[in-house]
Structures are given as structure tokens and as C-alpha cells.
Amino acid sequence: MVFFYVANEFSGTLKESDEGTLAYNFDHDLPVFFDSSISEHMLDGKRDELF
């Protein structure tokens, strides 16, 4: 599983990026990117929800 994050705690909206991967938009403007195949399993049904 290959993914990386830039914050331990965050709140934001999960959005689809132009590259087809998922990215979190943070209140402090730091994104988290996931591999699309991983995010489909881990984050299924959670797009456009606030965390």
C-alpha cells in the first residue's frame, strides 16, 4: 500500500483530482494524496464528506 500524508489530524473534503487520484483539501491547504486503487478500498463512499 503506497500512500503518503502530511498531517496527523485534518479536516477537509475528499476530492477527485485531474490525475484520477484522491486528494484531501485541508483547512491549512496541505493535501494528502492516495493511490486511487487503495483509496477505493479504504475510502469507498466517503467522497465529498467532511472529516
Q: Could you please report the per-residue DSSP string of the chain?
A: --EE-S-SS--EEEEE-TTS-EEEEETTS--EEE-HHHHHHHSTT-TT-B-
What pLDDT, on a 0 to 100 scale, did the predictor assign at position 7? 45
Cell matching residue 48? 465529498
Q: Residue 27 class from Cβ within 10 Å (0-12 exposed, 13-18 middle, 19+ buried)?
A: exposed
Over the stretch 1-44, which tens digit does the pLDDT of each residue have?
445 554 444 555 555 545 545 555 444 444 455 555 555 545 55
What pLDDT, on a 0 to 100 scale, did the predictor assign at position 27? 46
What pLDDT, on a 0 to 100 scale, did the predictor assign at position 50? 47
What pLDDT, on a 0 to 100 scale, did the predictor assign at position 32? 52
